[in-house]
Amino acid sequence: MNKFDIREIHPDESGLLEDFLYHAIYLPPGTAPPPRDVVFQPELYIYIDGFGDRPGDCGAIAEIENKIAGAAWTRIIPAYGHIDDNTPELAIAVLPEYRGQGVGTAMLTRLFELLRRRGYKRTSLSVQKANPAVRLYQRVRYKVFRENEEDWIMVKNLVETETHGLDADKLHTTPLGSERIKGNLGLHTDEVVDWCKQAVRNARSDSIQRIGKNWYVYGDGYVLTINAYSHTIITAHKHAKNK
């Protein structure tokens, strides 16, 4: 599994969204890929045109070995998943070679944090019912808002309180987990579990989020991933500090 960093998209990086918009297009099995210029069709291009100029324009990207491996972003636009003028709509894509490694979940976790800090209370999306990405959206607690024969519009509440139940004193990990966390974060201590316990105790309540079976604890330039049932510290990785 590749190590990856998650950070907010920079204003001068909005041009890369063209490629990720293309990868966000769902193709049922056996369907031939469309031409690359399909993204310039008005109903798609609205997701990226002038990104950064509208309220609700917000994004997170994943970097693996200095390569942009994924992007998740929101806009308030009259598009497929629009529900009102106060709810940003999600678009997300991970390059095929990096799928199935937790990149999408990590980007969404970061994006939700950014949206909360901007005062947004929920976010929406549109997805075809046959799209396997539905499972990801359900894991991060999107719920069906309305539907037609082929598609769901789903909404996630961003203000739900889910930080209770994480007990720093119960945290533990394996020797291999300690080595991984120490290496990923560049720690200068062998007492990795004690360091993580203190990090959880020091975390603000709005920097702890539960998604599915895991807790995500954000600190100063890092995020811890902790199993919510066993309190096992699964891993940790760096992410860019807020600007």
Q: So what's the pLDDT on residue 165?
A: 78
Residues of the chain falling short of pLDDT 70: 1, 160-164, 240-243
pLDDT tens by residue, 26-36: 999 999 999 99
Q: So what's the pLDDT on residue 167?
A: 87
Sequence-distant (≥ 6) Cβ neighbours of residue 15 within 8 angstroms: none
Q: So what's the pLDDT on residue 97?
A: 93
Sequence-distant (≥ 6) Cβ neighbours of residue 98 within 8 angstroms: 2, 4, 62, 64, 69, 70
Label residue 168 exposed, middle or buried (CB < 10 Å: 0-12, 13-18, 19+): middle
CATH 1.10.230.10 corresponds to the domain 5-157: no
Contact between 155 and 141 under an 8 Å Cβ cutoff? The reply is no
Identify the three-state secondary structure at position 235.
Answer: strand
CATH 3.30.2310 corresponds to the domain 168-238: yes
Q: So what's the pLDDT on residue 145?
A: 93
Domain boundaries, the chain: 5-157, 168-238
Q: So what's the pLDDT on residue 160?
A: 53
Contact between 27 and 35 under an 8 Å Cβ cutoff? The reply is no
